[in-house]
Amino acid sequence: MEDLRYPIGRFHAPAVITAEMRKKYINDIRYLPSLLELAIQNLDAHQLGTPYRPGGWTVAQVVHHVADSHMNGLTRLKLALTEDNPTIKPYDETAWAELPDVQYTPINVSITLLHALHTRWVAVLEHMEARHWDKTFFHPGNNAVNNMATHLANYSWHGLHHLAHIEKLKEREGW
């Protein structure tokens, strides 16, 4: 079951994040909306309603979750850039995946949202000064201080993690 839950492995924050690594992570953020859009292209309602693993979210829930999570990710970045080590607000992602907007909103709405959101996110990321990468926020959910370089690495991984959920499901099902 571990491979189905973590098809690209669990996130492990690199000890050192170089400028080259940041460029790669920014490109992961830049291209994720298009990659997700391509991954779900031509899937029918039954396929969109299929969980990526037993007991897991459906493809549609995964897409909506990425939008929800990445909205929080950009907000956390902006809070850290404009405040001194702010405490961010965790959210119950499982409960969010069960809300009516996920159930009744077509996934193309979240894909469109991701395109716009990631355009803004990349604009901030590409114009950050070197000193900004050391800015931090406190995450009370895991009692940790996160700097912006690690935050970037985490969201690069997060998008690719969920993209792999969809792509691996399609492979297994022969879609």
CA distances from 100 to 10, 95, 139, 144 (A): 29, 11, 27, 32
130: three-class secondary structure by DSSP: helix
For residues 110, 65, 162, 16, the Cα torsion angle rounded to the nearest 10 degrees is 110
Paired tokens of 65:
């979750």
| Domains of the chain: residue spans and CATH | 18-173 (1.20.120.450)
Q: Enter the pTM of the model.
A: 0.96
Q: 67-91: b or e for each residue (b if 16 or more CB lie within 10 Å)?
A: bbbbebbbebbebbeeeeebebeee
The pLDDT profile of the chain, 175 residues, written as one tens digit per residue, is 568 999 999 999 999 999 999 999 999 999 999 999 999 999 999 999 999 999 999 999 999 999 999 999 999 999 999 999 999 999 999 999 999 999 999 999 999 999 999 999 999 999 999 999 999 999 999 999 999 999 999 999 999 999 999 999 999 999 9
